[in-house]
Structure 1
Amino acid sequence: MIESEIRILLQSIAIQTRKRYANQLRELGLHIGQELALSHLWEQDGITQSQLRLKMGSEASTVSNMLRKLEQDDIIYRKVDDADHRISNVFLTSKGRQLEGPIMEIWKAHEQVLLAGIVPEELLLLRRILQQMDDNLL
């Protein structure tokens, strides 16, 4: 059945991508998922921990543990909001900002491998189909 084949292919792509990213991120001293948190901070440094959690679609405890590790590694720092002490804002350190280039290179290189041999018209169709699949899950 084609639906099963598609599910298996998507699963295989996800597994291989995760392995590749994990190996390359390890060379930067990072773990899978941390690069996603950093990418949101590169776009909007100083967002609250809750906003970051929502953007990542992760559990609060997962994000909290991740941020604790990034903080220990001097990649981010958290600052309690002056007006509301229950709110914690997350900021990049210079080390965190310097990781943007290497991580973007990892993503770009993987994308080139992943999409090799696919013509522009097929890429448009693929993007539309993947977007529909993503929307179906919301």
Structure 2
Amino acid sequence: RLPRHGGRATTVVVTIDLDQLRARLGAAGLGTGDLVSAAEAMRLACTADLVPMVLGGRGEVLHQGRAKRLFTDAQRLAMAVRDKTCRAAGCTIPATWSEAHHKHEWALGGRTDLDDGVSLCSWHHHRAHDPAYTVEFHASGEVRFHRRR
């Protein structure tokens, strides 16, 4: 049994452009900074517990609007790949250990999709829901917290 982080089992995500995958050319990223050939990524995907995330391809639906309140495993995985770490300013907790947070509260009309989701570590996720703090979401993806006065 594998440990669980942020609602998912520990996973290696392979990202590659769809055209490169089809042509079996180019390099695939493993999310660790390491690159492997497209052919090697295909081989690994057949023999290991990997999640191939093909950029530009049609995969699982990641935008669900208001149909569901909680983010899906696929959405949390996509956020982790996008965010890399907790998005709170200066926090270095890996996104795979983080929780999915709605930038706009779902109960107040927020959507359960990638544009409205952000990875926050448990500590910062609690601050986001703490009325003693205000939260600022910046265009860069950074999240800043300020104690109310």
Same topology, TM > 0.5: no
Question: Relative contact order, CA 8 A, sep 6+: which one is greater?
Answer: 1
